[in-house]
Amino acid sequence: MPLPPRKLSEQQLARLAIQLVQQGQQQTLVDTLALPKQRAFIEDPCRLKAALCPRRSGKSYAIGLYLVREALTNPGCNLLFVAKTRKHAKDVIWKDILRPVLQRLSIMGTWNKSELTYTFPNGSVLFVTGADTSDDVSEKFRGIKYRLAIFDECASWRLDLQDIIYNKVGPAMADVLGTICMIGTPGNTKNFFHTVTTGSEPGWSVHQWSWKDNVHTAENVQRHIDDLLRANPLVAETPRFRQEYYGEWTIDESKLVYRYDASKNSYPEDRLPEGRRWNYVIGLDLGFTDDTAWVIAAYADNDDRNLYIIDAIKHPKLIISDVARRTQQLIDHYDPISVVVDPKAKQSVEEMRQRFGLPLEDAQQRDKVNAIAMLNSDLITGVIKVLPAAADLVSEWEDLVWDERDLAKGRYVENTACSNHLSDACLYAWRKCRNYATAASAPKPPPPNSDEWAQQFWERDTLRLQRKQNQPWWERDVEPEDGDPW
């Protein structure tokens, strides 16, 4: 059957779509309703797909069309829609995603508001949930075979999206060879969605389209953007504008937690400067599902007030004996003056002290925001130097941002979608170091009778004569200065 002309009315188009479904030509349904780039995304046979789209690009409609298409094409199948929170899923799935498509196709199913499920006339069921609690996610995924799972607004997720997709949803898709999709607009955090949509994660097919590809809204969006630019042309340079309207990954530096600057804070050598006595401090941040992290800092007894971050190490899913063994290896290697650890994990810390004999000190936890501000002062002034082995710490610093919702309320809370375990371990170590108290050594005198010794002698003699000329005659007979051979 040939494709209908675009001039058909909405009612005619809906009737034709239903007719196509009844005739078993579901593929033509997508061709009829989807825009070209939406259709390319939906028809892509890859089982791992992602779509990166700015606002008003029609991604919600594409999600709805994809879910309905799979439900109609595969009677009795299970579908999954996951938003970052259950409330967000409940608010958006019916109004913005499902209802526009279902109304257009005159499909009459059953929407259960309390269970957040939609049952299609052919027995296919859409399950809707949020990822705001990992227990809820695990229970929702367990024991159900999904034909299609869609994750919405992935750039702003707080949980480990990689773990949820690969370890929780993935096994539920295997029996029916289901497809997993991530959808979202670029944001301020470099999470798993950023990794996938920038091409750093193999196995994913990434699609992009913008509001310019949405013929239904492009004219109005262009008018809105023109109004914004007329009011303030510089708005086009802001990270939020570039994220929302251009679909670009940008980080708003004003929201960065740590002010690392490679030109000031990177130390190119792979070892500390020679000729100094070094004090080492190890910062330890404990975790299991999250990473356990170690940061090793060093400062000199004299001549150097810089603080050097010489190594940064992190590993996930370590049990206490593994953490203790690794910590002991670092103690044996560096002979630190202190090993400071997050005291919130009290049982784990006490076990490492009593069972393994580790000399652990509780890290300071009070007034973290002010401590970060003071550490940032050391970064801005170039006091902190980071060696190449601590590159993972730099990666955290470059990605870690304050939570925008808390910032709007005047609170400084780190965005939980960002990793901060090495950053916390570094903060513990930094608070223990005393590089600011390092004293400069007195300069060594030049060898006697050398050219430098002679130059210094004549300079001192000239200054002595100048002072005597300004003194009364009765004060000119003074004792010789130290080091004066005459």
Number of other residues whose CB lies within 10 A of the CB of residue 19: 13
Number of other residues whose CB lies within 10 A of the CB of residue 218: 16
The DSSP secondary-structure symbol of 58 reads: S
Question: Strands across the sheet with 338-341, in order?
Answer: 360-362, 338-341, 278-285, 291-300, 307-316, 384-386
Q: Is residue 16 part of a domain?
A: no
Q: Is residue 461 part of a domain?
A: yes
For the four alpha carbons of 67, 69, 72 and 74, in that order, the dihedral sign comes to: negative
- 86 and 211 assigned to the same domain: yes
Amino acid at residue number 399: D
For residue 301 the two structure tokens come to 């007894």
Count of domains observed in the chain: 3
Phi, psi of 302 (to 5 degrees): -155, 165
- 337 and 295 assigned to the same domain: yes
Name the residue with tokens 């670029």. 186
DSSP string for residues in 151-200: E-SGGG--S-HHHIIIIIIHHHHTTTT-EEEEEE---S---HHHHHHTT-
Instruction: Give the model's pLDDT for residue 356.
Output: 92
- 454 and 364 assigned to the same domain: no
- 299 and 198 assigned to the same domain: no
Instruction: Give the model's pLDDT for residue 137.
Output: 54
For residue 288 the two structure tokens come to 């299991």
Instruction: Give the model's pLDDT for residue 358.
Output: 93
CATH number for the domain spanning 46: value is 3.40.50.300
Q: Is residue 153 part of a domain?
A: yes
Taking only the tens of pLDDT, the chain with its 486 residues reads: 444 444 445 555 555 555 555 545 544 555 577 788 888 898 899 999 999 988 888 888 888 888 888 888 888 999 999 887 788 888 888 777 888 778 777 778 888 888 888 898 888 999 888 876 545 555 556 667 899 999 988 887 767 788 888 888 888 787 788 899 999 888 767 788 888 998 888 999 999 888 888 777 788 888 888 888 887 777 776 677 778 888 888 766 678 899 898 888 999 888 998 888 899 999 999 988 788 999 999 999 877 889 999 999 999 889 999 999 999 999 999 999 999 998 888 889 999 999 999 999 998 878 888 889 889 888 888 889 999 999 999 989 988 888 888 877 878 888 887 889 999 999 999 999 988 776 555 556 677 777 777 777 667 767 666 666 666 655 555 555 554 444
- 424 and 480 assigned to the same domain: no
- 381 and 463 assigned to the same domain: no
The DSSP secondary-structure symbol of 417 reads: T
- 387 and 483 assigned to the same domain: no
Instruction: Give the model's pLDDT for residue 69.
Output: 87
- 279 and 414 assigned to the same domain: yes
Number of other residues whose CB lies within 10 A of the CB of residue 57: 27
Nearest to 299 by CA among 430, 476, 458: 430
Q: Report d(CA 110, CA 472) in Å as an integer.
A: 108
Residues 6+ apart with CB under 8 A from 372: 257, 258, 427
Q: Per residue in 185-221, pLDDT tens?
A: 887 677 888 889 988 889 999 998 888 887 777 888 8
Number of other residues whose CB lies within 10 A of the CB of residue 168: 17
Q: Report d(CA 221, CA 188) in Å as an integer.
A: 23
Question: 179: number of CA atoms within 13 Å, CB side?
Answer: 20
- 276 and 334 assigned to the same domain: yes
- 398 and 485 assigned to the same domain: no
Q: Rounded to a whole number, what is the largest CA-CA distance in the chain?
A: 122
- 166 and 309 assigned to the same domain: no
Which of 416, 437, 458 is the last residue in one of the domains? 437
SS3 label, residue 150: strand
Is pTM beyond 0.75? Reply is no
Q: Per residue in 284-342, pLDDT tens?
A: 999 887 889 999 999 998 778 899 999 999 998 899 999 999 999 999 999 999 999 98
| Residue 188 near residue 221 (C-beta atoms within 8 A) | no
Question: 232: number of CA atoms within 13 Å, CB side?
Answer: 6
Nearest to 62 by CA among 85, 82, 43, 86: 43
Q: Is residue 55 part of a domain?
A: yes
DSSP string for residues in 259-304: ---HHHHB--SSSPPSSS-EEEEEEEE--SSSEEEEEEEEEESBS-
Amino acid at residue number 382: G
According to DSSP, the residues that pair with 266 across neighbouring strands are 386
End-to-end CA distance of the chain: 114
Which of 210-213's residues contact partners 24+ apart within 8 Å by CB, and which partners? 210/53, 210/54, 210/57, 210/246, 210/247, 211/54, 211/55, 211/56, 211/57, 211/58, 211/245, 213/35, 213/36, 213/37, 213/57, 213/58
Nearest to 15 by CA among 122, 100, 107, 97: 107
Residues 6+ apart with CB under 8 A from 179: 46, 47, 48, 49, 147, 148, 149, 173
Instruction: Give the model's pLDDT for residue 5.
Output: 41
Number of other residues whose CB lies within 10 A of the CB of residue 266: 15
Domain residue limits at 126: 34-220
Q: Is residue 99 part of a domain?
A: yes
Residues 6+ apart with CB under 8 A from 230: none
Instruction: Give the model's pLDDT for residue 28.
Output: 54
Instruction: Give the model's pLDDT for residue 431.
Output: 92
| 88 to 41, 56, 93, 132: CA distances (angstroms) | 24, 18, 8, 10
| Residue 251 near residue 188 (C-beta atoms within 8 A) | yes
Q: Report d(CA 315, CA 171) in Å as an integer.
A: 24
Instruction: Give the model's pLDDT for residue 26.
Output: 46
- 406 and 464 assigned to the same domain: no
Q: Is residue 89 part of a domain?
A: yes
Q: Is residue 196 part of a domain?
A: yes
Instruction: Give the model's pLDDT for residue 421.
Output: 94
Q: Is residue 257 part of a domain?
A: no
